[in-house]
Amino acid sequence: MTTRPGTTIRPGPQEAPAPVKPKHAPPAAGGPDPYFPNSGDHRYRLHRYEIALDYRPGPNRLAASARLSAVTNAALAEFALDLAEFRIGRVLVDGKAARYTHRGGKLRIRPAKALAAGAAFTVEVHYTGNPRPVRSPWGGLGWEELTEGALVASQPVGAPSWFPCNDRPADKATYQVAVTTPSPFTVVSGGRLLTRTARASSTTWVYEQSAPTSSYLVTVSIGHYQPVPLAARPAPPRTGVVAQTGYVPQRLAEAFTRDFARQPEMMAYFAEVFGPYPFGEYAVVVADEELDVPVEAQGVATFGTNHLGGGWERERLIAHELAHQWFGNSVSIADWRHIWLNEGFAKYAEWLWSEHSGGPAASVHAAAAHRLLAGLPQDLRLGDPGRRLMFDDRLYQRGGLTVHALRRALGEDAFFAMLRDWAGVNRHGVVATGDLLAHASRYTATPLGPLFEAWLERPELPPLTD
Q: What is the C-alpha to C-alpha distance for residues 342 and 431, in angstroms, rounded to an integer? A: 10
pTM assigned to the model: 0.92
Predicted confidence (pLDDT) per residue in 318-347, tens digit = 999 999 999 999 999 999 999 999 999 999
Question: Dihedral of the CA atoms 44, 331, 300, 194 (nearest 10)?
Answer: -60
Q: Specify the pLDDT at position 192.
A: 97
Q: What is the C-alpha to C-alpha distance for residues 378 and 135, in angstroms, rounded to an integer? A: 29
User: DSSP assignment of 10-37, as one string?
Assistant: ----SSPPPP----PPPTT-SS--SS-T
95 pLDDT exceeds 60?
yes
List the one residue out of 335, 315, 210, 331 whose CA is nearest residue 269. Answer: 315
Residue pair 125/66 in contact by the 8 Å Cβ criterion:
yes
> How many CB atoms within 10 Å of residue 192?
14
Predicted confidence (pLDDT) per residue in 220-256, tens digit = 999 999 999 996 555 555 556 788 999 999 999 999 9
Q: What is the C-alpha to C-alpha distance for residues 406 and 419, in angstroms, rounded to an integer? A: 10
Q: Supply the DSSP symbol for 426.
A: T
Residue pair 216/198 in contact by the 8 Å Cβ criterion:
no
Predicted confidence (pLDDT) per residue in 174-232, tens digit = 999 999 999 999 999 999 999 999 999 999 999 999 999 999 999 999 999 999 999 65
Mean pLDDT of 435-461: 98
Q: Specify the pLDDT at position 241.
A: 78
Give 63 or 16, the one with higher predicted confidence. Answer: 63
Mean pLDDT of 4-22: 33
**Average pLDDT of every residue of the chain:** 92
Question: Dihedral of the CA atoms 233, 237, 241, 245 (nearest 10)?
Answer: 60
Residue pair 400/353 in contact by the 8 Å Cβ criterion:
no
Mean pLDDT of 157-163: 98
Sketch out the chain's domains with CATH numbers. 44-224 (2.60.40.1730), 234-323 (3.30.2010.30), 334-457 (1.10.390.10)
What percentage of the chain reaches a pLDDT higher than 90?
A: 89
17 pLDDT exceeds 80?
no
Confidence of residue 26 (pLDDT cuts 50, 70, 90): very low
Q: What is the C-alpha to C-alpha distance for residues 123 and 93, in angstroms, rounded to an integer? A: 4
Q: Specify the pLDDT at position 147.
A: 93
Between the CA of residue 69 and those of 32, 92, 159, 320, 396, what are the distances in Å?
Answer: 21, 12, 17, 33, 36
1 pLDDT exceeds 50?
no
* Run of H or E including 281: none
Q: What is the C-alpha to C-alpha distance for residues 213 and 299, in angstroms, rounded to an integer? A: 10
Q: Supply the DSSP symbol for 140.
A: -
Q: Specify the pLDDT at position 310.
A: 86
Alpha carbons within 13 angstroms on the beta-carbon side of residue 262 total 18
Q: What is the C-alpha to C-alpha distance for residues 226 and 224, in angstroms, rounded to an integer? A: 7
Q: Specify the pLDDT at position 28.
A: 42
Q: What is the C-alpha to C-alpha distance for residues 437 and 117, in angstroms, rounded to an integer? A: 34
Q: Specify the pLDDT at position 236.
A: 52
Predicted confidence (pLDDT) per residue in 261-272, tens digit = 999 999 999 999
Confidence of residue 388 (pLDDT cuts 50, 70, 90): very high
Q: Sign of the CA dihedral 27, 37, 327, 7? A: negative
Q: Specify the pLDDT at position 232.
A: 57
Confidence of residue 465 (pLDDT cuts 50, 70, 90): confident
Q: What is the C-alpha to C-alpha distance for residues 455 and 451, in angstroms, rounded to an integer? A: 6
Predicted confidence (pLDDT) per residue in 274-325, tens digit = 999 999 999 999 999 999 999 999 999 999 999 999 899 999 999 999 999 9
Q: What is the C-alpha to C-alpha distance for residues 86 and 371, in angstroms, rounded to an integer? A: 48
Q: Specify the pLDDT at position 466.
A: 67
Q: Specify the pLDDT at position 291.
A: 94
- Give the lowest-confidence range in 4-18, 354-368, 380-394: 4-18
